[in-house]
Structure 1
């Protein structure tokens, strides 16, 4: 298995670029990362933002670590973005991803991604409104793909999420989005599928498993987030915690579907009040378990 780290574990902790790069390369012995926008906000003033982002990119390169993509984090996920109820909010969502693309280009990283967006509670229950907003969001995304190509990116990533008010949430939703964008975008758009999202039983029932996602959207899945979950909430527990996902399950899936170039990014979100030394030891222990799986 090709293992990598989403840098979510580091937010509000180890945020100095050289220290974080050294921690990833030496303490955690990892060569691939996904850079989270929780470390550098795409909405910050461009000159300062890009200088900070470049500093991270330089530090990781010097440490022998490849930044494969950048990705929205907790802060970004708060907002509805291009599925918001008003044109003004959807425009801000467009600008959010556009800024992230610019930051990613400044880092010389080839891909950027985030969840597509979320409807308001009222719009989510109104099929006509959902369709109207969705069609507009597709146009926005096609335009963003053009910008991504102009800035030198080679791929955009969309993460399905386990909420019925968001899109895509189901594998069928994800397939529709991929098919609707296929051939329309200037760079390929692919899925970043999170194991904890896909195994969310309250929403998906008997389809809450990764085999179902592989059957429906397998060719579109380019990246994975892995986390430990109980299937009842989006836990983002580490693999030192008991749950539905085991190293053996991850390995079996990798082998059965012949994965090669994809990356399993460990995306763990610790309580902010957890002690730093506990976080580091827990990350070391989890990676040891996964590598032995």
Structure 2
């Protein structure tokens, strides 16, 4: 019998709510019945003073140990994602984003988190609104150079893995299966291994990819050897919704598990990644998360 994918949750749902490990750890373990998380840097800013970062890293490590929670990785979060990061038009801003990640690596290592990842950046829009299908060769070469340098920095920090998350936008990289494969080949010599974290709502954007993109199976089957983690969400295949599973949508948890089994990813960790309006009350969010976690646990059992 094939083992089921480890099921966890990205702490994106905690933003501006359960912001310390003393708050999110019991929610994850006792309310949702999960023991695997992906930390979010929406909860900790790597640019905080070193003493504050160190104290929070120790708190994260202790709370995870106390509640029997494993932290698979730490992702950049929504706040940092809004910046253009490693693809900003200004090279000095790119270098600052690289430094931001180096600081994130240090925090993760101290907190006992073995990997860090997320989307890498976005080029600026053109004044006429047109979007190219690929990055400029110079931008791409600069990005690969920075990824290799980050691999060295991650190794120095003591990390085991780095992740890049493909996004469904022409201004980011990679956004196609072919681009993802090329990137993984181009960083294959990294001092710290780069892998992909693919999202169920990213490879299924029909307005971008066309009617054949109503399944993640092509992404999974084509890239299974370089996929290290998976995000699952409920969505309508029109936009990147990040709904929970109390909402109607196109993602069926049982079929999701079957797709992973068919494509050799049955043992890859899967993280529910959901976002909520800041105005929504916390009690209703807990109820929705509890129902969603139950639905996924039953499907992936």
TM-score by length of 1: 0.95
1:6 aligns with 2:18: no
CA distance in 1, matches of 2:79, 2:140: 23
Residue number among 195, 200, 205 corresponding to 2:200 in the alignment: 195
Compared CA separation, residues 108 and 267, structure 1 to 2 (3 A): same
Match of 2:40 in 1: 36
Per-residue displacement from partner, 1:131-189 (whole Å, max 9, x unpaired)?
10110111111111001111110100000011111111111111111111112x00110
Change beyond 3 A, Cα 1:243–1:132: same
> Structure 2: how far apart are the matches of 1:125 and 1:110?
36
Q: Does 1:66 pair with 2:73?
A: no
Give me the whole-angstrom Cα distance separating, in 2, the residues matched to 1:188 and 1:67: 18
Provide closer, same or farther for how the CA distance between residues 265 and 128 of structure 1 changes in structure 2, counting only shifts above 3 A: closer
Q: What pairs up with 1:278-293 in 2 under 5 angstroms?
A: 278-293=284-299
Tell me, in whole angstroms, the C-alpha distance in 2 between the residues paired with 1:53 and 1:202. 41
Unaligned 5+ runs, structure 2:
none
Q: Deviations over 1:211-235 (max 9, x none)?
A: 1112322211110010011111110
| Counterpart-to-counterpart distance in 2, 1:128 and 1:245 | 29
Query: Cα offset for 1:126?
Result: 6.5
Distance 1:260 1:126, change over 3 A: closer
In the alignment, structure 1 residue 122 sits paired with structure 2 residue 126: yes
Q: TM-score, normalised by structure 2?
A: 0.93
Q: Partner residue of 1:96?
A: 100
SS in 2 for 1:199: coil
Structure 1 segments, 4+ long, off by >4 Å, are 123-129
The equivalent residue for 1:146 is: 152
Q: Please say if residues 131 and 170 of structure 2, whose CA atoms lie closer than 8 Å, have aligned partners that are also in contact.
A: no
- The farther-off stretch of 226-235 and 252-261 is 252-261
CA distance in 1, matches of 2:131, 2:263: 36
1:190-230 CA-to-partner distances (Å, cap 9, x unmatched) read 00001001111111114422111123222111100100111
Structure with the bigger percentage of helix: 1
1:1-293 equivalences in 2 (<5 Å): 1-122=5-126, 125=131, 130-183=136-189, 185-208=190-213, 209-293=215-299
CA contact (8 A) 1:120 1:165 kept: yes
How far did 1:47 drift? Answer: 2.1
Separation (CA, whole Å) in 1 of partners of 2:133 and 2:8:
39
Alpha-carbon spacing, 1:85–1:292, altered in 2? closer, same or farther (3 Å): same
Task: Give the gaps of 5 or more residues in structure 1.
Answer: none
**How far is the alpha carbon of 1:121 from its aligned partner?**
1.1
* Structure 1 residues 164 and 126: alpha-carbon distance in aligned structure 2, compared to 1, 3 A threshold: closer
Post-superposition shift, 1:127? 8.2
Residue 167 of structure 2 contacts residue 174 of structure 2 at CA under 8 Å; is this kept in 1? yes
Q: SS at 2:278's partner residue?
A: coil
CA contact (8 A) 2:155 2:191 kept: yes
Aligned length: 292
